[in-house]
Amino acid sequence: MQLSPLQSRLVASLTATFCVVALYLLLSSPKGALAAELPRDSSSWMDLTIPDTDRTELQTSSYEPIFSFFTRSILGRAQDVTPLENNRPLGLNVGPGSQPVCYLVKKGSLGASRDPRKIYISANTCLQPTIKAGKKAMSPGQLTLFVSNNTDAGCPQITSTGNGVEAKGFTSKVFTEGAVTFSINSTNDVYVAIYAPKLSDDFEGTYNFEIAASNTTYFHRYEASGGAELLWMDSDSTSALLVTRNLTDDVSNLRRVMSEDPPYQLYVSGKDTTSLDGMRRSACGFQKNALIGANNQGNAKNNAMVKTAMTLRGPGGLPKQQFYVVGLNATSAYSGVLVKPANVTVNSKRQVGGSDVPTNPGSIVFQATSFQTNAAPNCKVVTDLEFCDEIQYAVPGNDGKYNNTELAKAYDNYAKSMYDNFLKVMMQVQCETDRTSRYSLARTCDDCKNAYKRWLCTVSIPRCEDFQGESRFSVIRNVGQPFPNGTMLPVDIQTNLALVPSQNASRNAFIDTDIQPGPYREIMPCEDICYQVVQSCPSKIGFKCPQEGMYAFNVSYGKRDNDNSTVSCNYPGEARTPVNGAAAFIPNLMFLAGVLSSGLLLLG
């Protein structure tokens, strides 16, 4: 049947209306959705935030859906994993209790080495959360390192246990004082992760760490054996002198070592300082948290308090690095830590066509060296003397007349003038003659001059200790003179001490008349310094040493302590830090005893 024009328009209109209604219902009805929208205040909303590992801070935990029909390896690989290159340290923040930060050492990516299967992994804590104001002081927990060579490991899933945290398929190792090392033999990819422990609300802030992989040795190292690398030479009431061991024992390397930049950094902290707790084996921990430091860039905290330089002073005349720390508190205990800084920048990018990683690029933290200041205002540390170039200790001083530099120069000039008199005597000795005509077949005039110079400098510039100290190795001097501030010893104490003649004045009149330090204690020179002159010089100059047991010996020279645990007598270069092998400086005293005659103390 054929529709009329009016009927055709009606059918078309109804059809269009039905289509519009159907489309409206399809678009507006929520029943067609396959998943419900999460409200923004839901805790699950934050789980959907994906961390951006290129940023310096980890804002939120990463999302990991729990689907029973997906395997663990698929989920683990979905999390961001950053590759570690050979000796290229990476740094990042990680929040307490957040998802671990994951890394991958790909098979063969570290380059050739003696053992291609050996991988050395190390990390340091640089910053850690701090306790909130008003809360009980405590240290936050240590970070944990996770390592696995399982090809399906991916990022670890952390599980809390009664003994800490663990992850299936991973070996874990908790940091110790902000440092961790782990080596693994593997021919597969190695997965590595850093996890920060959950903390209470008493803490604020985040952790920051460095991590590195190497095919030769640990990039971050802590030297726990071998004795102190940093030696405490001496200190006074406000300053301390610290020196490294010899930087080389090979004389042929002397010029090269002295021309290079000082190799070490020094970080100093008070005994009760807590800012470094939990990071005392971490190089970056010291660099970012120590209250007093010295580095080549001059940007360490309170860098102006530490003066450092290369020196040849001290035993052997070999290169050392010296640190002179000023502005300290009297009668206070301190700790000094030597750090060899890494020479590769954290998060640096490998330069295309650039040179490879330098030899031994990593950092080393050495054992802490303890030292303390004293209460004596009239004992002053001197160093860098021009003539008596081995003197590096506290000497009798007077702040009212000399600063430390002027004091050193005054002593040095006095010793030099006394030595000039000795050289006049030596002019009468036939030094430039044939070997058979010399005074000794074993020693030369140069040996004599060196031995006499060491003896002269040591007795002319005595080593000073606090008058109120109770060291059994020191003797009291100059009790009748006022202290630099004008005060005197109480009359009864002064009268009693003055009964011993050696306590009434200093060893040399120059000290009492020119320096005027007041009462002090002197650590007497070691007996072998005197014996070395007798052994090295011709008998015709008339130099003799007092023998042990004589009164002159007891008030003029000291003996080395057998256990070398303290400075029992003064020898140039003798550190207060115990050093193994110090006995190597002691000459054959039994032999010398045979050549000594009656004692006559020669003080120059």
Same domain as 452, residue 324: no
Check which CATH number belongs to the domain holding 165 and give it.
2.60.120.380
Specify if 513 maps to a domain.
yes
Same domain as 549, residue 414: yes
Final residue belonging to a domain, choices 536, 555, 574: 555
Are residues 482 and 519 in contact, defined by beta-carbon separation less than 8 angstroms?
A: no
Same domain as 283, residue 180: no
Q: Which domain holds residue 527?
A: 379-555
Same domain as 524, residue 485: yes
Same domain as 405, residue 340: no
Final residue belonging to a domain, choices 354, 373, 392: 373
Q: Which residue positions in the chain have pLDDT lower than 50? A: 29-78, 352-354, 581-604
Question: What is the Cβ-side half-sphere exposure of residue 331, based on CA atoms within 13 angstroms?
Answer: 6
The whole-angstrom separation of Cα 366 and Cα 358 is 21
Specify if 32 maps to a domain.
no
Q: What are phi and psi of 258, to 5 degrees?
A: -70, -25
Overall domain count for the chain: 3
β-bridge mates for residue 122, sequence order? 181, 212
Specify if 298 maps to a domain.
yes
Q: Tens of pLDDT along 560-602?
A: 887 677 889 999 888 998 765 433 344 433 333 333 333 333 3
Q: Which two tokens stand for residue 164?
A: 């800490």
The reported pTM is 0.80
Check which CATH number belongs to the domain holding 303 and give it.
2.60.40
Specify if 56 maps to a domain.
no
The DSSP code sequence of 376-387 is -TTEEEE---SS
Nearest-CA neighbor of 90 among 122, 58, 62? 122
Same domain as 400, residue 274: no
Are residues 157 and 74 in contact, defined by beta-carbon separation less than 8 angstroms?
A: no
User: Tokens 């940023």 sit at which residue?
Assistant: 55
The whole-angstrom separation of Cα 513 and Cα 494 is 19
The length of the chain is 604
The DSSP code sequence of 268-302 is EEETT--TTTT-TT-HHHHHHH-SEEE-TTS-STT
The whole-angstrom separation of Cα 443 and Cα 512 is 36
Same domain as 157, residue 217: yes
Same domain as 519, residue 431: yes
Same domain as 280, residue 183: no
Q: How far is CA 159 from CA 22, 61, 99, 432, in A?
A: 53, 15, 11, 83
DSSP class of residue 229 equals: S
Same domain as 206, residue 108: yes
Same domain as 525, residue 488: yes
End-to-end Cα spacing for the chain: 146
Are residues 219 and 212 in contact, defined by beta-carbon separation less than 8 angstroms?
A: yes
Final residue belonging to a domain, choices 160, 194, 223: 223
Same domain as 522, residue 436: yes
* Positions of E strands within 493-549: 520-523
AA identity, residue 253: N
CB atoms within 10 A of CB 532: 21
Please tell me the predicted confidence (pLDDT) of residue 69: 35
Specify if 600 maps to a domain.
no
User: Tokens 């957040």 sit at which residue?
Assistant: 98
Angle between helices 445-460 and 527-536 (to 10 degrees): 150
Please tell me the predicted confidence (pLDDT) of residue 289: 95
Specify if 43 maps to a domain.
no
Please tell me the predicted confidence (pLDDT) of residue 5: 58
Label residues 541-552 b or e (16+ Cβ within 10 Å = b).
Answer: bebbbbeeeeee
β-bridge mates for residue 208, sequence order? 93, 127
Specify if 49 maps to a domain.
no
Specify if 323 maps to a domain.
yes
